[in-house]
Chains A and B, each alone.
Chain A
Amino acid sequence: MGRPRFKNMVSAVAVASALGIAGAAVPAAAATLNMAWSQDATGLDPHKQTAFSSLRLLELVYEPLVRTDGELNIVPAIATAWEFSEDGQTLTFKLDPEVKFSNGDKVMPADVKASFERILNEETGASSRANFLSIESIDTPDDETVVFNLSQPDAPLLTAMSSINAAIVPASAIEAGTIGTETLGSGPFVLDSWEPNSREVLSANENWAGGDVGVDGINISVLPDETAILAALRTNQVDFALINDPLVATLVPNNAGLTLNREPVLNYHVLQLNADRGAMAEEKVRQAISCAIDRQDVLDAALLGEGKVTGPLTMPAYATDPSELFCYTPDLEKARALMAEAGYEDGFSAKVMAATGEPPTAAAEAQVIQSQLAEIGIDLDIEIMELNVYVDRWLKGDFDMAVALNGGRTDPYTMYNRYWTKDGNLAHVAHYGDDTLDSLMQEGRVETDPAKRKEIFAEFSKHITEVSPWIWLYTGYSYTAANDKVSGFEANPTGSLFGLSAVTVSE
């Protein structure tokens, strides 16, 4: 894919000579950032991709209407301003007139409309379609305004729109059917080439409305083994890297010249129980499991303490003090008593499944949980399987227990509606549902007052940990490591690498 790059160079020269400022547009310090990660993107369609690794790449190329900043506040991206109407049923955006796609075309309200219509079209298979179902119609009264007409007030809508899964793509590309095969976004970088499982080459988008990008481009290498990433950082073959394995991450600070950036994330480690199977159908047994598990101990042993014990709500704006939740202080006596009350004083046996390397700590977590549950007579058999097989069985809900790392969202409703509402499309994986959970989710969805929403979801959190369909454990960190040539990176709790647009590299 040498062609797009060549085209970019031509247009850069053309723009520079037209303005008579040849060379001045590029800061003197600009250079290429060499970067590494262990998991490669799996595809290029921003509306369909869900793999973390794909999102990280697409966030550099595409832009949504709004973004979330380091404190998870909604900040401008393509839109400069937005407003909900009094009744909460219309949402109006003013677009930034400076925003252009990397080919120089202005981002128009028609592009926004076409993008959301594509997401809402069931045939697209857009992964976040469910979050936008309240959108009834989209108006484009002038060249800078987009109006979303909603069927009901939808508080989480704005947050959902900040995801790269709601990226604005050119209407022309939708028509041509090239989304997913070619990339044309308004983000800070242009994807010049992609060799799956090997490398990506990105160059700065000189048409980016956000200002000058600090580097000329980014070369991303896919190094599946994170120890190799560390080795590459040490020898300065790589300036910047994404690290998943906490065991590798903790080694980074031991090296002079390398810094580790640790950012709490919304994704949560959880032990999913199957309340449709055997002893776990008993609420008391599930509660006993919750009481028997020492979450901090699992965290300390399997992740070297790299994380924080959490309840179901991992976003700071909604999180409550986990120690107030049911049995977050381990209590073996209570656990044994509960087992006896449920008629399982002699325990039972079950299987727990975990995926190889996803998360890297899964095997260790399963083994610690196994040893903790042995204390109350539960005999766990660990089944570690390749990620694909795991996913297959997870989707069918075919497991007794599962060690999982599930994705978090900035809004509790968008995060959990798929599991804990009656018609959630993953309710069969959750293996549990009750009227309280369902009605709390509905209330939370339509309530627009932040304080009241916080109360509703605190109630949700308290209830769900008490009925214990799942045992929420902890959240980890996302790690980035950089050498001292790199400066200016700002991490984001969503894991987004958008902060790379401000990074500079010294020679």
Chain B
Amino acid sequence: MNYLTRRLVTFPVVMLGVSVLVFVSIRLVPGDAITAMLGTEAGLLTPAQRAALEAYFGMDQSWFGQYWHWLGGVLHGDLGISVTYGRPVMEVILRVFPLTLELALLSMIVALAVGLPAGIYAATHAERPSDLIVRIVAMVGQSTPSFVVALLAIYALSVWFGVLPAMGTFTPLWENPLKNLAQMILPALTLGFAFAAAVTRISRSAMLDILSDDYIRTARAKGVPARSVIWHHALPNALIPVVTVSGVEFGYLLGGAVIVEQVFALPGLGRTVLEAILQRDYALVQGSVLFIAFNFMIVNLLVDLAYAALDPRIRLGGK
């Protein structure tokens, strides 16, 4: 079987696995939607009231029955109803997803705009002091948790520069692009920092690999100018691993940045899932995790396709 076909066949199998895993694990969590909703006052419920609420939340069916029912819905594009929102799960997800998508795209733009030039520069200045500096910064970037970057950035901006990050009522891009960008810029830079570090490192090492390849050396020996060697011969090949790394990273970001969204008060996918877990909103947890896994796998598939398209040397049948 060819690699791509195999990927396509295992896709539904893996999705099914994800659905079972999330379905079971959220139900193993102690506490239920009723205590989540009523807090300590749930103690005032009579057994009859509790039973009525359990029926309302569908908690009176067996797990298998619930799963079967849910899976049937999923296959028809119905992810169920969120108990906290009182709306279809899909609708809830699609309302917060644009923010997450925008954040992921902005972070990727930051990462590519900074990381790619830095990586190429470092590779063409290999082992010189400027290369060392780029590598150290990239290493630090890769070693700092994004919430630490966020906290330090907020602190430094407000205390040293008197600039306050624009946090508050979130404004969607289509309502007021300027206000939206003002709110998104710091979170995007925060997430872009580690992302850029990864891009820098991979583009530097890819570039170095290529520059030491025979055909580049041949081109140089033939007297092709150094600039042309880099831009026309080396770069296109060096981009392949960059695409892979950026794609995978982008796939992760589409799952929502739980802590960064929390710190910057952004109502994105990560915060929605976190709150759904805390409020035992089973349908929402199931639906959004499935959604995230689906996106992640699709992005990875696309990355593989891009990889194959960019590099004719790769035979996907192998490996």
Contacts and interface: CB of A to CB of B under 8 A. Distances in A.
A224 B168 contact: no
A259 interface: no
Interface in A241-275: none
A388 B43 contact: no
A36 B42 contact: no
A436 interface: no
Interface in A428-465: 429
B315 to A, nearest CB: 49
Nearest to B46: A122
- Consensus secondary structure, chain B interface: helix
Interface stretch (A20-28, A227-235, A332-340): A227-235
B164 interface: yes
A123 B31 CA distance: 23
B272 A391 contact: no
Contacts, number: 125
B51 to A, nearest CB: 11
A228 B169 contact: no
Contacts of B35: 388, 391-392, 395
Given A36-B169, A228-B264, A237-B167, A386 B278 contact: yes
Interface in B38-89: 38-46, 48-49, 52-53, 84-86
A130 to B, nearest CB: 7
Contacts of A229: 265
A395 B41 CA distance: 8
A42 interface: yes
B195 to A, nearest CB: 23
A42 B37 contact: yes
Interface in B267-319: 267, 271-272, 275, 278-280
B39 A50 contact: yes
Interface residues of A, number: 45
A222 B271 CA distance: 12
Nearest to B171: A237
A458 B49 CA distance: 36
B53 A125 contact: yes
Nearest to A122: B46
B262 interface: yes
Interface in B245-264: 262-264
Nearest to A124: B49
B223 interface: no
B40 A238 contact: no
A56 interface: no
Contacts of B167: 223, 228, 231-232, 235, 237
Interface string A371-401: 0000000000000001111011011000000
B95 A195 contact: yes
Given A34-B169, A50-B38, A389 B262 contact: no
Contact of A388 (B31, B262, B271): B31
A34 B264 CA distance: 18
Given A34-B169, A224-B262, A386-B278, A50 B41 contact: yes
Contacts of A198: 96, 170, 267
A221 B170 contact: yes
B265 A228 contact: yes
Interface string A395-415: 100000000001000000000
Given A199-B169, A224-B271, A391 B30 contact: no
A123 B265 contact: no
9 contacts: A196-B86, A221-B170, A229-B265, A386-B31, A395-B35, A395-B43, A406-B40, A418-B43, A418-B44
Q: Which 5 A-B pairs have the closest CB atoms?
A: A237-B168, A232-B168, A388-B31, A228-B265, A50-B41
